[in-house]
Amino acid sequence: MKLWQKNTNTSEAVETFTVGNDREMDLFLAPFDVQGSLAHIKMLESIGLLTTEDWTVLSAELKKIYKEIESGNFSLQDGVEDIHSHVELLLTERLGEVGKKIHSGRSRNDQVLVDLKLFFRTAIEQLVHNIEILFQLLQQKSEELKDNLLPGYTHLQLAMPSSFGLWLGAYAESLVDDVITLQSAYKVVNKNPLGSAAGYGSSFPLNRTYTTKLLGFENLNYNVVYAQMSRGKSEKIVAQSLSNVAATLNKLAMDCCLYMNQNFSFISFPDNLTTGSSIMPHKKNPDVFELIRAKCNQLQALPNDVTLLTTNLPSGYHRDFQLLKEYLFPAFVTMNGCIDMMHLMISNMKVKQDLLNNEQYRYLFSVEEVNKLVLQGTPFRDAYKKVGMEIEEGKFTYSTKVEHTHEGSIGNLCTQQIAEAMQEAVDSFAFEKYHEAIKNLLA
């Protein structure tokens, strides 16, 4: 079934090519298509384009379809082009002529737009929840391991003392900034495009403010042309926020690959979380971290993929946009999977004790010795030169005791302040507002 078909049949080759993977991708949108339709018909009833009787039966049947989707007992019928066609077909099959009235005042253009924004809103919430769980683990491990020293590197050369607590705490704070960028993406997608129709509005007296309230959107995409122009732009902003999270996980995964290496041997994992070699019996490979690294590299390319797909397009709808689903929908699945696996691995990580007692790390403490001389009154440049000469002459002596007390240093991780920053970022989403609206819509 095609909503737009008249008396001419489309070539099978053209149909196969243009539909592509839409049927599969649209299953992600199924519950949101019903939510959007429920809001739309309530608005149509409020302006007199549906009778109360028609609205009542349509609403009841849409809620049945929603329950079928939620139970997993739902699929698109053969020959149905997309989720929008499928829902309308089900309503018409079950209710007769009244099912055909549901599409008044909207186009598939704004229908898919509202579905996407509802999907992204929910997907961002799930992602933020998963990030919070990983964040809490990183903070917990950071506090547990704050006194376990670790070599710090610049240019991959020994630099200064760090600690496992400082290392893991850095990634926790990085996730705070990632959530802030997700917050910006959420604000962009949490706007209602419904009522923009094909991108030029409608001669029906639609109440777009009402559907905004019914769906729990924060605001409208007011200009109907811009509502359509937000297709592609919204996906690019979401993709950028996903790529930021991916960059954090990618770097942590790379650190873990290095630190597991026998030449570092800073961390280890149970045998059942690593993989072996077909010919080398001693191997414990970091395959999980390598795959997280690779998948997150793919996710970091996502904004560029979206840009290249949508560049050079004038205003208005174009079929090119259809392919965006194939980038964005699986991306959320991949991102959440990487977070889950990172949580599993870090939960089971063991760290090597007393690492910096090894003589090979003695020069990590050169700055500590310079600073001691400065605290005793020696000008910094003279202290630097003195310690440098001792190193060159093989006379360098040092202590492994480290006293860093300023904010964010080894001895003052500011774990609580970072936790408060994360909580502030999460609270600002106010997810409960849209939860309440959707709950009322489905009641």
Domains of the chain (ranges; CATH) run 12-103 (1.10.275.10), 108-193+223-357+413-431 (1.20.200.10)
Query: 60-101 pLDDT, tens per residue?
Result: 999 999 999 999 888 887 777 788 888 999 999 999 999 999
Quick one: pLDDT at residue 82? 84
DSSP lists the bridge partners of residue 192 as: 220
Q: Are 60 and 52 in contact (CB under 8 A)?
A: no
Quick one: pLDDT at residue 20? 62
Quick one: pLDDT at residue 228? 93
| Helix, strand counts (H, E) of the chain | 16, 6
**Mean pLDDT score of the chain:** 92
Quick one: pLDDT at residue 210? 97
The 3-state secondary structure of 68-88, one letter per residue: HHHHCCCCCCCCCCCHHHHHH
Phi/psi-derived region of residue 315, left when phi > 0, alpha when psi is between -120 and 50, beta in every other case: beta
What mean pLDDT is predicted for residues 312-333? 91
Reported as type and span, the H/E element at residue 304 is helix 302-310
Retrieve residue 118's tokens: 């509802």
Q: Which residue carries 């997907």 as its tokens?
A: 123
Q: Is 162 helix (H, G, I), strand (E, B) or coil?
A: strand
Quick one: pLDDT at residue 4? 46
Quick one: pLDDT at residue 277? 63
Q: Are 211 and 192 in contact (CB under 8 A)?
A: yes
Quick one: pLDDT at residue 442? 96
What mean pLDDT is predicted for residues 16-45? 85
Query: 377-404 pLDDT, tens per residue?
Result: 999 999 999 999 999 999 999 999 999 9
Query: 398-428 pLDDT, tens per residue?
Result: 999 999 999 999 999 999 999 999 999 999 9
| pTM (predicted TM-score) | 0.92
Q: Where does the pLDDT of residue 151 fall: very low under 50, low under 70, confident under 90, or very high at 90 and above?
A: very high
Lowest mean pLDDT across 202-211, 269-278, 312-321, 322-331: 269-278
Nearest to 423 by CA among 179, 151, 156: 179
